[in-house]
């Protein structure tokens, strides 16, 4: 099952993904895309580390996410990717459209081929103001398109609001037809 968890900053996305992984006694792989570029980000990463169980396998992959997902997914394993918008930021920083397109295609392919449970965490950035910079607008647009593509592929889409999950798409509900026909 593939699950896309979207929401604003501090909406409870990561915690919700961790709860999905903690429901069963299964193997958990966490693929993290963040890099500690400054003290504030290092503190955020440390807080996430302190919260998660020590027995989870952690893979740090800021660029080749599709490859990391392919290596990690297997029946009986929960794979959490946290988070897609940081990954997208890493790609945009490369300033190479070919790399961005190739990595997005690799991600979509890995999601389509995944086994076990795959939980993709991402920040919804399109609900706010229009960014003043060209890069900000491009990031917002790229994230929106990525979310739309993945929402079509995933079996379930959850919108997090104030720590509460709102089911947007679930198997057997309208909008789930495309994911179940893969």
* Closest C-alpha to 59, from 72, 70, 47: 72
What DSSP state is assigned to residue 61? -
Q: How far is CA 118 from CA 5, 29, 52, 94, 168, in A?
A: 11, 10, 17, 26, 17
Q: What's the N-to-C CA distance of the chain in angstroms?
A: 12
Structure tokens at 31: 């693929």
Catalytic residue, candidates 48, 52, 70, 71: 48
What DSSP state is assigned to residue 129? P
Active site residue 48: yes
Q: What is the per-residue burial (b if ≥16 Cβ within 10 Å, else e) of 140-175? A: bebbeebbeebbbbbbbbbbbeeeebeeebeeeeee
Q: Which residues are catalytic?
A: 48
């Amino acid at each position: 099952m593939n699950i896309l968890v979207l929401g604003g900053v501090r909406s409870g996305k990561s915690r919700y993904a961790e709860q999905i992984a903690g429901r069963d006694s299964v193997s958990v792989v966490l693929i993290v895309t963040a890099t500690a570029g400054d003290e504030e980000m290092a503190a955020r990463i440390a807080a996430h580390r302190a919260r998660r169980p020590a027995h989870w396998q952690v893979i740090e992959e800021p660029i080749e996410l599709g490859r990391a997902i392919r290596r990690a997914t297997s029946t009986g394993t929960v794979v959490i990717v946290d988070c897609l918008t940081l990954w997208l930021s890493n790609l945009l920083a490369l300033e190479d459209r070919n790399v961005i397109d190739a990595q997005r295609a690799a991600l979509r392919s890995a999601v389509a081929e995944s086994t076990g449970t795959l939980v993709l965490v991402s920040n919804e950035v399109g609900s706010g103001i229009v960014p003043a910079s060209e890069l900000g607008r491009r990031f917002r647009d790229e994230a929106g398109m990525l979310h739309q593509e993945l929402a079509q592929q995933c079996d379930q889409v959850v919108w997090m609001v104030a720590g509460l999950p709102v089911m947007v798409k679930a198997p057997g509900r309208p909008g789930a037809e495309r994911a179940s026909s893969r």
